[in-house]
């Protein structure tokens, strides 16, 4: 344990806590990047600068965990753990996602079928609350806060330190891409893998009716002779390889970031599917942070003139979680009513039903469906996002709150545990210095 790292960490937290305690009235977090997909309302809130809290404090290979500051990106955490032959049990696939943001915003990736969601792999948290106190919580210490923090979106306080579980990894993975035409057969195969895991990572893609690809990744210590690992960090696109290859090899680093180079497939929204654009952007700029910046700029500047001549569209950017038994039904309804393609398919289990703001059944695996695109619309704005919420409710699922929500307050609190939340809000932020969860999730507070 390096005492100097811990005392430096404490000094950074004390500075942030003092800034919070010394300020008055409403506050909000200032961060250099964000993966929120709902515009933030302009407000009179004091901005709390948390950028300094981006350090990996300590990696403990024996205990199998890392202590990391809340604003540390997964890209930096992975760079720190891989030299130990370790990686976080769940690594959300966009490089700018931070550890605190993924805990509070519900994170997922292709090891979810073994370990659950990001918050299921957290062992302990420090939360800075509205009066400047820093509360340590874990399953055995302040469990209501520990189990109430995921899906709170900074409305209860800020994670300044997170103790995340690590898993041993190999230098490479072997990928097997299996095509399916029948969704029932696909979800049956996924259900079998969740029940008796044989691979190390599992996810899939729905390309359209009758076209699914399921990818199983296995750790391998070395590559077969005359084999080079695949490279999707520049001219080639990972998502396209799923339809042209039945197996592949990647370094573990490139596997963890396989979706970041093209923001899954959303880089097409900035023309990055065209080779000249890829040549121009180059390896360094082909990533989700670049695309976010371009997307945000396009919302502000004259590009919007184009939007006035294009057919009207509605932005539908969502991740929803559906019990596996209802997955095929949900997808059929989704295809008929929304029709966005491709759709990311990521199975996960829910080992613990005590997370009060994101309570899931523990008796079934879930399928996370991720879809991020514009839908042509002649309906009132919000129509398609509301239809997604209806379909999620119809199929007994849950929707993550990082993007647009149209719930009225009563319906919202049938999805999330109001009484548990109210008790925590009273404990952590009795004067409402942080926006409330409903205000944040639905009214962009
Ligand atoms: C296209 C797209 C695809 C996505 N796919 C996935 C996916 O596959 N897997 C996945 O895991 N996630 C996915 N996400 C969701 C993403 O993980 C969540 O939005 C997550 O909350 C973002 O983390 P961030 O660090 O960028 O936080 P931000 O976007 O900056 O913040 C998210 C919210 O959390 C709060 N917050 C941030 N840091 C802290 C902290 N330390 N303590 C308390 N509150 C905090 C902020 O106030 C804000 O309300 C996706 C998002 C997008 C846009």
pLDDT tens digit sequence for 18-27: 999 999 889 9
Average pLDDT over residues 361-387: 96
- Please report, to the nearest 10 degrees, the dihedral formed by the alpha carbons of residues 389, 392, 398, 403 taken in order: -40
- Structure tokens belonging to residue 430: 């009795």
End-to-end CA distance of the chain: 40
- Candidates 253, 260, 251; CA nearest to 284 is 260
The alpha carbon of 97 and the centre of ligand 1 are apart by a number of angstroms equal to 6
What is the pLDDT confidence band of residue 297, given thresholds at 50, 70 and 90? confident
Instruction: Answer yes or no: is pLDDT of 1 > 60.
Output: no
Average pLDDT over residues 400-421: 94
Average pLDDT over residues 314-340: 97
Instruction: Answer yes or no: is pLDDT of 305 > 60.
Output: no
Instruction: Answer yes or no: is pLDDT of 445 > 60.
Output: no
Average pLDDT over residues 340-356: 97
Lowest mean pLDDT among 132-141, 264-273, 300-309, 322-331: 300-309
What is the pLDDT confidence band of residue 57, given thresholds at 50, 70 and 90? very high
Average pLDDT, the chain: 94
300 burial level (CB within 10 Å; 0-12, 13-18, 19+): exposed
Please state, for a pLDDT cut of 90, what percent of the chain lies above it.
86
The alpha carbon of 319 and the centre of ligand 1 are apart by a number of angstroms equal to 12
Residue 221 domain flag: no
Tally the C-alpha atoms within 13 A of residue 284's C-alpha that lie toward its C-beta: 1
Structural domains in the chain (count): 1
Amino acid 323: pLDDT = 98
Ligand 1 atom nearest to 156, measured from its CA: 43
Average pLDDT over residues 69-84: 97
Helix ranges (DSSP H) in 43-172:
74-81, 99-105, 112-115, 143-148
Instruction: Answer yes or no: is pLDDT of 304 > 90.
Output: no
DSSP 8-state symbol, 112? H
Amino acid 269: pLDDT = 86
Instruction: Answer yes or no: is pLDDT of 316 > 90.
Output: yes
- Candidates 12, 51, 45, 47; CA nearest to 32 is 51
pLDDT tens digit sequence for 177-213: 999 999 999 999 999 999 999 999 999 999 999 999 9
* Maximum Cα interatomic distance, the chain, rounded to a whole number of Å: 64
pTM of the model: 0.96
Q: Which of 32, 36, 385 to mutate to test the pocket of ligand 1 (most atoms within 8 A of CB)?
A: 36
Amino acid 76: pLDDT = 97
Parallel, antiparallel or unpaired: strands 313-323 and 366-376: antiparallel
Residue 259 domain flag: no
Residue 362 domain flag: no
Q: Which of 17, 96, 104, 428 to mutate to test the pocket of ligand 1 (most atoms within 8 A of CB)?
A: 104
Amino acid 42: pLDDT = 58
What is the pLDDT confidence band of residue 306, given thresholds at 50, 70 and 90? low
The alpha carbon of 50 and the centre of ligand 1 are apart by a number of angstroms equal to 15
What is the pLDDT confidence band of residue 258, given thresholds at 50, 70 and 90? very high
Instruction: Answer yes or no: is pLDDT of 363 > 60.
Output: yes
What is the pLDDT confidence band of residue 68, given thresholds at 50, 70 and 90? very high
Check: CB of residue 444 under 8 Å from CB of residue 41: yes
The alpha carbon of 276 and the centre of ligand 1 are apart by a number of angstroms equal to 31
DSSP 16-56: HHHHHHHS-S-EEEE-S-----SPPPP--PEEEE-TT---E
Whole-angstrom Cα Rg for the chain = 21
Identify the residue whose C-alpha is closest to ligand 1 atom 10: 107
Amino acid 24: pLDDT = 87
Lowest mean pLDDT among 38-42, 75-79, 398-402: 38-42
Q: Which of 68, 105, 266 to mutate to test the pocket of ligand 1 (most atoms within 8 A of CB)?
A: 105
The alpha carbon of 106 and the centre of ligand 1 are apart by a number of angstroms equal to 7
Amino acid 350: pLDDT = 97
**DSSP three-state, residue 214:** strand
**Tell me, what CATH number does 90's domain have?**
3.30.465.10
Instruction: Answer yes or no: is pLDDT of 132 > 80.
Output: yes
Residue 62 domain flag: yes
The alpha carbon of 209 and the centre of ligand 1 are apart by a number of angstroms equal to 30
Q: 26-59: buried (b, 16+ CB within 10 Å) or exposed (e) per residue?
A: bbbbebebbbeebeeeeeebbebebeebbbbbbb
Instruction: Answer yes or no: is pLDDT of 44 > 80.
Output: no
Residue 344 domain flag: no
What is the phi-psi region of residue 73: left when phi exceeds 0, alpha when psi lies from -120 to 50, beta otherwise?
beta
Identify the residue whose C-alpha is closest to ligand 1 atom 52: 35
Instruction: Answer yes or no: is pLDDT of 41 > 80.
Output: no
| Host domain of residue 12 | 3-169+420-443
Amino acid 300: pLDDT = 66
Average pLDDT over residues 251-258: 98
Instruction: Answer yes or no: is pLDDT of 301 > 80.
Output: no
Distance CA 119, CA 169 (A): 20
Instruction: Answer yes or no: is pLDDT of 85 > 70.
Output: yes
Residues in the chain: 445
Residue 413 domain flag: no
What is the pLDDT confidence band of residue 294, given thresholds at 50, 70 and 90? confident
Instruction: List residues near ligand 1 (CB under 6 A).
Output: 29, 31, 34-37, 70-71, 92-93, 96-98, 100-102, 104-105, 107-109, 153-154, 158-159, 317, 319, 370, 372, 402, 440
Amino acid 43: pLDDT = 64
Instruction: Answer yes or no: is pLDDT of 32 > 90.
Output: no
Average pLDDT over residues 425-439: 96
Ligand 1 atom nearest to 107, measured from its CA: 11
């Amino acid at each position: 344990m390096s005492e100097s790292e811990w005392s430096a960490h404490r000094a950074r937290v004390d500075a942030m806590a003092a800034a919070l305690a010394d300020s008055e009235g409403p506050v909000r977090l200032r961060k250099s990047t964000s993966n929120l997909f709902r515009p933030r309302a302009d407000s009179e809130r004091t901005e709390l600068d948390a950028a300094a809290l981006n350090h990996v404090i300590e990696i403990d290979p024996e205990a199998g965990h890392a202590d990391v500051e809340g604003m540390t990106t997964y890209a930096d955490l992975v760079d720190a753990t891989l030299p130990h032959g370790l990686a976080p049990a769940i690594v959300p696939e966009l490089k700018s996602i931070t550890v605190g943001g993924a805990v509070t915003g519900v994170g997922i990736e292709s090891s979810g079928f073994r370990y659950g969601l990001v918050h299921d792999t957290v062992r302990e948290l420090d939360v800075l609350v509205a009066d400047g106190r820093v509360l340590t919580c874990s399953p055995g210490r302040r469990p209501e806060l520990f189990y109430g923090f995921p899906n709170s979106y900074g409305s209860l306080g800020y994670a300044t330190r997170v103790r995340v579980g690590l898993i041993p990894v190999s230098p490479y993975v072997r990928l097997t891409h299996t095509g399916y035409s029948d969704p029932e057969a696909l979800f049956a195969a996924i259900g079998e893998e969740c029940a008796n895991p044989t691979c190390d990572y599992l996810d899939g893609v729905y390309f359209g009716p009758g076209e699914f690809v399921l990818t199983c990744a296995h750790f391998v210590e070395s590559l077969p002779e005359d084999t080079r690992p695949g490279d999707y960090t520049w001219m080639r696109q990972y998502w396209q390889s799923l339809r042209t290859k039945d197996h592949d090899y990647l370094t573990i680093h490139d596997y963890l970031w396989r979706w970041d180079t093209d923001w899954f497939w959303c880089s097409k929204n900035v023309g990055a599917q065209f080779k000249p654009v890829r040549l121009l952007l180059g390896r360094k700029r082909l990533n989700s942070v670049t695309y976010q910046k371009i997307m945000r700029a396009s919302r502000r500047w004259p590009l919007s003139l184009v939007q006035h001549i294009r057919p009207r569209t509605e932005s539908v950017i969502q991740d929803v979680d559906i019990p596996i038994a209802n997955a095929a039904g949900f997808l059929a309804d989704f295809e008929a009513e929304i029709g966005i393609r491709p759709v990311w398919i990521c199975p996960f289990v829910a080992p613990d039903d005590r997370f009060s703001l994101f309570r899931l059944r523990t008796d079934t695996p879930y399928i996370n469906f991720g879809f991020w695109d514009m839908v042509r619309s002649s309906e009132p704005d919000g129509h398609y996002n509301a239809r997604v919420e209806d379909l999620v409710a119809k199929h007994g699922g849950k929707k993550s709150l990082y993007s647009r929500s149209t719930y009225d307050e009563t319906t919202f609190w049938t999805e999330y545990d109001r009484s548990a939340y109210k008790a925590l809000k009273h404990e952590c932020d009795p004067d409402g210095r942080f926006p409330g969860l409903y205000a944040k999730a639905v009214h962009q507070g």
